Amino acid sequence: MNYTKCWLAYPTICREQERTLTVHSDFDGPVAQNGVKELTLGLKGLYDMGLEPVTENGADASIRLVRKDGIHPEGYAVQARGGKAVVASSGERGVLYGIFALLRQLQTVQCAWDDLDWEEEKTPSNPMRMFNHWDNLTGDIERGYSGQSFFFRDNEIIIDQRTVDYARMAASVGINATVINNVNVKGAAVELISPRYYKPLRDMQEIFAGYGIDLYFCIEFAAPILLGGLDTADPCDDRVKAWWTDKAAEVWQALPGLGGFMVKADSEGRPGPFTYGRNHADGANMLADAVAPQGGKIIWRCFVYDCQQDWRDTKTDRARACYDHYMPLDGQFRDNVILQIKNGPMDFQVREPVSPLFGGLKHTNMMLEVQVAQEYTGQQRHVCYLIPWFRQVLDQDLYCQEGPSTVADLVSGRSYGNALGGMAAVTNTGDDPNWTGHDLAAANLYGFGRLSYDTSLTGEAIAAEWVRLTYGKEPKVEDTLTDILMKSWPAYESYTAPLGIGWMVNPNHHYGPNVDGYEYAQWGTYHRADWKGLGVDRTSRGTGYCQQYAPKLANLYENLETCPDELVLFFHHLPYTYVLKSGKTVIQHIYDTHFAGAEQAAEFLRQIEELEPLLEPEVYERLHARFSHQKEHSCQWRDVINTYFYRKSGIPDAQGRKIYA
Ligand code: GCV
């Protein structure tokens, strides 16, 4: 199947045919060689120029890839001036990232090769920058909105040019690790750690390694039973320990350099240590000990909560679960364990406070998990550029120590001097021709990588950069698409669930409005609306969730006077007539944002229609179809939500607009 080159299309800047640059490299490993290949592709596309490697006279080469101690092995220093460029690093990954930075810069300033006058030095903000794929071996993707898997089909592993192009795309934005299969390890995926798959996995691993990407996969906690024929997977059982130790030795012998395993345990029906009366440190450490001799890591997901809750029970609070489970274990995990924590305490809603666990753990490696796949944010049928949201998450200060204590500081390991940590994104890719279903959803994939490598970047800068790399330099296209991207998350938030309350989606597939879709279910996701008001009381008078934060944040959320409007219903149960800081009542806020959000979606479509002459017909058609759907679907959201709350409250819209009573 044909597919687009996304941001690696290298659209022509100006033609300098007949010219050939030279490149000299101090490195000769596969990563640097792929860097040279990328330079060749880039210069050909941008200038129609050739590139020739030279082994001698390195000093005269147009581009020099230089080994330089003192620069982080995944960082780089690039200098480009007067038709010559030097890309320096102490490691090959750094050189590769420097090359991508150089190609990016050429496209950003859109100048002739000789005119580039630029230098940049970067050290990655996070040690680990990871894509998580929820691909099943059958080929379908859990929460996939862009076709089928390009890693797996019919229980076989696919290796083709797309594998290489995926690795190029990931490396171009600084991704250095990827988990290829679903955390819900289903069917044949249990056997990924068996000889059946070692050969193709090795081939895949080699491709990824050539782009500086460590391969990981998700394992099934009950594998000793399912694969090993034991009668238990108890992490404290010696037979289980021995089985995992032998298994790890076998896996690493087949796949030397494998990054490690990711585990979802005791979560949404998955097996785990709780089955045996053990805790999650017992489970994670047993695996960590098994993989440690191989240099492997265990990424242990913290998405653990009671998914069999009684909706009548107003004291149990799913939001509390992650902290309640893991805080008592702080300091007990091995050095090669990383706890992976979702950005919020619930599950990737359009707005949530950050998980208090980030501020709680002081002696544990941790990693932030975000979802680039738009499960709850429009499923890649609506545009929803999430990078400004991730930026806010990273900037949130947890006030948990005197020193640096934002989420960015904490997960990078900076706060407490941890060597491991970073950011992971559940990806939005599939085998659709444009990789991400919605063409503009590629900005999230790109943006996650860029942000995880450099957490000082802004959402707007990343958006503008992505648009230029993807569509070339056409001011109207650039301005319009950047504008749409930047307005898209607030727009989506405004016509869906209000004021931080979340959910209100159709059960199971999570698409489209259904205010009571999860209200009487077992999932712990309630809005508690009645005729007087709505919201969940998570203060000390309610579930006590607020108190999981350090005092400064706990007080901010606990007090209505200081609790930010956008999260007020997450933390408080309020009457519809309560006046927000905006000066509007809760009910009027609901009406106003829903009318405004749907209008904004209609405006997006108008903006896209103006781009018709400037975009390739196929791209325009795809965009037009998605934005038309978004316009219509945002009206459905608006009307369902407004009608529901009008019927509950009996309070009319102050502006007398149409509400379907
Ligand atoms: C992979 C949510 C999703 C599930 C997902 C789970 C998780 O509940 O709906 O599909 O399972 O999160 O993150 O493990």
User: Which amino acid is residue 64, in one-letter code?
Assistant: R
Looking at residue 46, its pLDDT comes to 96
Ligand 1 neighbours by CB, cut-off 6 Å? 134, 142-143, 183-184, 264, 267-268, 303, 347, 375
Tell me if 235 sits within 8 A of 282, measured CB to CB: yes
CA-nearest residue for atom 13, ligand 1, is 303
Residue 566: CB atoms within 10 A of its CB come to 18
Is the pTM of the predicted complex or chain greater than 0.95? yes
Active site residue 268: yes
342 CA closest ligand 1 atom index: 13
- Residue 593 in 3-state DSSP? helix
Distances (CA, A) of 639 to 66, 516, 603: 60, 15, 18
- Residue 553 in 3-state DSSP? helix
**Which stretches does DSSP call E strand in 576-658?**
none
Active site residue 375: yes
Active site residue 397: no
Looking at residue 586, its pLDDT comes to 98
Looking at residue 1, its pLDDT comes to 66
Residue 38: CB atoms within 10 A of its CB come to 21
CA-nearest residue for atom 11, ligand 1, is 184
* CA gap 6, 169 in Å, rounded: 8
Tell me if 445 sits within 8 A of 427, measured CB to CB: yes
- Residue 299 in 3-state DSSP? strand
Structure tokens at 188: 């044949």
* CA gap 581, 566 in Å, rounded: 10
CA-nearest residue for atom 8, ligand 1, is 347
Q: How many CA atoms lie within 13 A of 249 on its CB side?
A: 6
Looking at residue 57, its pLDDT comes to 76
* CA gap 133, 166 in Å, rounded: 12
Ranges of residues in the chain with a pLDDT under 70 are 1
Structure tokens at 250: 């076998």
For 295-319, write each residue's pLDDT tens digit: 999 999 999 999 999 999 999 999 9
183 CA closest ligand 1 atom index: 1
Find the catalytic residue in 234, 375, 432, 537: 375
**SS3 for 174-193, per residue?**
CCCEEECCCCCCCHHHHHHH
End-to-end CA distance of the chain: 49
Report the separation in Å between the CA atom of 72 and the middle of ligand 1, taken as the mean of its atom positions: 35
Angle at the Cα of 242 from the Cα atoms of 240 and 244, rounded to 5 degrees = 70
* DSSP H/E element including 502: none
Q: Which residues, in sequence order, are bridge partners of residue 271?
A: none
Looking at residue 56, its pLDDT comes to 82
Q: Which residues, in sequence order, are bridge partners of residue 218?
A: 262
* CA gap 139, 150 in Å, rounded: 8
